[in-house]
Amino acid sequence: MADSLSLRRMQAAILLFHGVDVLDFAGPLEVLSHAGSDLDPEKSKPLFEISLVAKDELVRTASNLTVKRSLSLDEAHDRLSEFEVLVIPGGPPKVIMPLIESGSPELQLIRNFAELSAPSPDRILFSVCTGALLLGGAGLLEGKSATTHHRALDALRTVCQTAAGRADAAPTKVVHARLLDGGLLASGARIITAGGITSGLDATLYVVALKTSRAAAESVARRMEYDWRQEEGVTA
């Protein structure tokens, strides 16, 4: 990818909700915040401007950490075309399933981002851990390969089957993996799913590589002193 594109500032959003798992969003937040900071030593600015999006101003995580949002859901909707990356973290099933079953505003934001005809041809929608259930519940995994936490693989299959709602729907190929690139939706958005918790670090580094370069992603991994597990495959 060209250097001019590698140095271009990009907007990323991370969706939060009460009961979200901390590392599911904090891991991607950390990786994205470092991306590109050493590509232009004179400017030394990260490539991603990151917004935490939530319904309520303060979000209580699964481990009782309180996080303040950057944008409300309404504000995020108004700016949706600006975002090139949307991160969907996970949480306990008792938190995730009501968001799906109620057709929540969070679920609608995911759908709207996926369906958006935006100027950028390489928008990325990716989930961490049980965040894949939200992608499945939004009907975005039909005919795709996807993964999630190993304890939620059956739940993901069920959610995808329910969301499809018809006998001739293309099945979702649910497999146990650290990350999977499910390819493009009709809108041009790319679907990426990560396995449990720390897999989100690998997936975010993969996103950085897609949006900038593999060298830039490797630089982030070195800075974080993280052993990026690139060899575990991204397609299925």
CA dihedral 123, 128, 131, 132 (to 10 degrees): 70
Nearest Cα to Cα of residue 215 among 33, 4, 6: 6
Nearest Cα to Cα of residue 188 among 132, 131, 113, 138: 113
Is residue 129 flagged as an active site residue? yes
Long-range contacts of 183-186 (CB under 8 A, 24+ apart): 183/144, 183/145, 185/114, 185/140
Could you tell me the two tokens for 79?
Answer: 């700016």
Catalytic residue, from 73, 96, 129, 179: name it. Answer: 129
Task: Give backbone dihedrals phi and psi of 60, rounded to 5 degrees, phi first.
Answer: -95, 120
Nearest Cα to Cα of residue 113 among 13, 234, 9: 13
Distance CA 208, CA 6 (A): 10
Do 196 and 129 form a contact (C-beta atoms < 8 A)? yes
For residue 158, the 8-state DSSP code is: H
Q: Cα separations (Å) of 107 from 10, 17, 103, 111, 138?
A: 23, 11, 6, 6, 6
Distance CA 85, CA 195 (A): 18
Catalytic residues: 129
